[in-house]
Structure 1
Amino acid sequence: MAIYPSLITMQCFIVLVCISIFSSTVTASDPPLTLDYYKSTCPNVFDIVRKEMECHVLSDPRNAAFVVRLHFHDCFVQGCDGSILLDDTIDLQGEKKASTNGLNSLKGFRIIDKIKNKLESECPGIVSCADLLTIAARDAVILVGGPYWDVPVGRKDSKTANSDLSSQNIPTANEGLLGIISKFLYQGLSVTDVVALSGAHTIGMARCENFRARIYGDFGATSGMNPLSGSYLGKLKSVCPAISGPGDNNVTAMDNFTPDLFDNSFYNTLLRGEGLLNSDQELYSSVFGIETRKLVRKYAEDPVAFFNQFSDSMVKLGNITNSDSFVNGEVRKNCRFVNT
């Protein structure tokens, strides 16, 4: 019993330190985003994005997860400014090859290219790639059964990218809970946002390289190694060999029950101790997870509460901006390159 006061004290201390260090970096004075920003300049923007996303998700449900992940990785570096979409050039080092982006493991760029081409045909030079990606992420979630939310728009595209910030800001698959929380606090997101946004892992796949340490580590301890968990672990090990090599890029679903459906099954996976990524299972199993554990239980029991909070947290994520992109940004004609 004596362990919990000290853990609580340590958790509160670290969180307060993170807030004091990082709160000054969150910008609250940027021009506000609005729902009707394109009302007169490109009134069909939402319809165009939705129709294109419908085609791509119907052809392969995994495309939904690809686009949501792109949006997350974009917003955690320089705010939601489309910097993740920039290719490397002689004058610019992009973020696509950063270590936390899996060295070219991010996918979905061609989907964004196709949507951008449609928008340029309809409304040339009007809709930013940052807005396009934010809208597409919302539609991706809806198309696999997830909730709707209004997407404020009016973002500009950055002329810069930051590979170093990608490595610093984006949570990693094997990261501990306090490290993950601190990175979310840096973006102005709360512990509740951490748990809700992690629910996006109810869709999508993970590479062996990112879950090897987990399945050959404490998976047995957190799952209790009942017969069903043991069978699941055996399947995971057949996909992901213990030694790094050609199997590093083998993939498996992060939600092994309903991998193509956006629901609350992910949280039930954590309750069973079967989270595929260490960073996910930490939400429930970490000794520091006093608050996150309660939220995992809540969302596992109440899918409506999860959907409502996920919608709110995605709006907060999409509203992460920086003053430079508004002042010095542009609307790229091609999402992969700065305008010339």
Structure 2
Amino acid sequence: MACPSNLFATFFIVFVISIASSTAQLSTDYYDSCCPGLLDAVRAQVKLAVDKEPRMGASLLRLFFHDCFVNGCDGSIMLDDTATFTGEKNAAPNRNSTRGFEVIDAIKAAVEQICPGDVSCADILAISARDSVVALGGPSWDVKVGRRDAWTASQAAANTSIPAPTFDLNRLVSSFQAQGLSVKDLVALSGAHTIGQARCTNFRARIYNETNIDGFFARTRQAGCPRTSGAGDNNLAPLDIQTPTSFDNSYFQDLISMRGLLHSDQQLFNGGSTDSLVTSYSQSSSTFNADFVAAMIRMGDIKPLTGSNGEIRKNCRRIN
């Protein structure tokens, strides 16, 4: 059975398509009839990837974040550069940093086996992000789906829209507000740093130059990240020093102890307006989990392509 967007293209006349595309909404049951095996297929592939490398859970979650912050949750981050097209993968926030593309490829291939031409790469990114959190011990939620894939990408937008690890609190707040996300969403989504790692080049300035940092923590990180730029730039350190492969609230406990790895992390607990949220999340994993889930759902609603807009890519790396 074809999914709703494909039915639009097959059975409805042009003006009806136009109306449907302008009013279409995401839903949690979009694929229930047309691709009932979708969630099991995605979950199985994510589990394989995370079991092989726990860090991959953080990488898949980050792919969804970096996709949604650039012109909406439209799968644009997956597009490869070509001789005539420059995509987002080599934008400054993504180059030598975003990873997990081959896992999305594997998921897409598995889904195409059971539901050819029905499921978008944008939706696969959204479902994979949820399953990655669950695989590492975090909360689950019903993912809204029905997105279609973009025909294009924007390296320029990726360079300007994705918040940087050097941002202060005001710039972080502005960056999230530009996407329709609140200060609470900012802090809750930053809790994704309870898993994953960062490269030395992104935290060198903090561990050598900043004063709002625990001394022992700074010295420990300096051992794997030389002061000289270019030396050890790609050396990794965990964003959460307590439980780096478990999705929990220890990231916020680290911030209260001045052990945030990135400058942008510690800005959330630095005598500013977000201190109370960090304190609350550090004390209650259930509060953090609930707010994280709500924020992930809101982020997934950023400017999706629906109805007759966009396409369902056969290969996530290129348009049809």
Deviation at residue 293 of structure 1 after TM alignment: 0.7
CA contact (8 A) 1:30 1:322 kept: no
Match of 2:180 in 1: 188
Match of 1:38 in 2: 31
Task: Give 1:49's match in structure 2, choosing from 36, 42, 54.
Answer: 42
CA contact (8 A) 1:34 1:153 kept: yes
Match of 1:198 in 2: 190
Deviations 1:207-250 (A, max 9, x none): 001001110111xx323xxxxx4332222001111111141111
Q: Quick one: distance in 2 between partners of 1:326 and 1:39?
A: 17
Q: SS in structure 1 opposite 2:212?
A: helix
CA contact (8 A) 1:209 1:249 kept: yes
1:278 maps to 2:263 = yes
Q: Quick one: distance in 1 between partners of 2:96 and 2:206?
A: 22
Q: Quick one: distance in 1 between partners of 2:154 and 2:255?
A: 33
State the identity %.
49
CA contact (8 A) 1:30 1:321 kept: no
Match of 2:296 in 1: 314
TM-score, normalized by length of structure 2?
A: 0.91
Q: Quick one: distance in 1 between partners of 2:231 and 2:24?
A: 48
Q: SS in structure 1 opposite 2:209?
A: coil
CA contact (8 A) 1:202 1:265 kept: yes
Task: Give 1:98's match in structure 2, choosing from 91, 94, 112.
Answer: 91
- Unaligned ranges ≥5, structure 2: 1-21
CA contact (8 A) 2:225 2:231 kept: no
Q: SS in structure 2 opposite 1:100?
A: coil
1:328 maps to 2:320 = no
Match of 1:243 in 2: 228
Match of 2:252 in 1: 267
Deviation at residue 104 of structure 1 after TM alignment: 2.9
Tell me how many residue pairs correspond in the alignment. 299
Note the aligned Cα RMSD (angstroms): 1.2
Q: Quick one: distance in 1 between partners of 2:86 and 2:231?
A: 27
Task: Give 1:303's match in structure 2, choosing from 285, 297, 301.
Answer: 285
1:208 maps to 2:200 = yes
Q: Quick one: distance in 2 between partners of 1:164 and 1:116?
A: 27
Q: SS in structure 2 opposite 1:284?
A: coil
1:144 maps to 2:136 = yes
Deviations 1:268-303 (A, max 9, x none): 100011100000100111x5x22x111000000111
The code of the aligned residue for 1:184 comes to F
Task: Give 1:222's match in structure 2, choosing from 200, 212, 218.
Answer: 212
Q: Quick one: distance in 1 between partners of 2:167 and 2:144?
A: 31
Q: Quick one: distance in 2 between partners of 1:187 and 1:326?
A: 22
Structure number having the greater helix percentage: 1
Match of 2:54 in 1: 61
The code of the aligned residue for 2:48 comes to C
The code of the aligned residue for 1:198 comes to S
TM-score, normalized by length of structure 1?
A: 0.86
Q: SS in structure 2 opposite 1:216?
A: helix
Give the 3 Å change call, closer, same or farther, for CA 209–185 of structure 1 in structure 2: same
Q: SS in structure 2 opposite 1:252?
A: strand
Deviations 1:179-231 (A, max 9, x none): 1111100111000000000000000000001001110111xx323xxxxx433
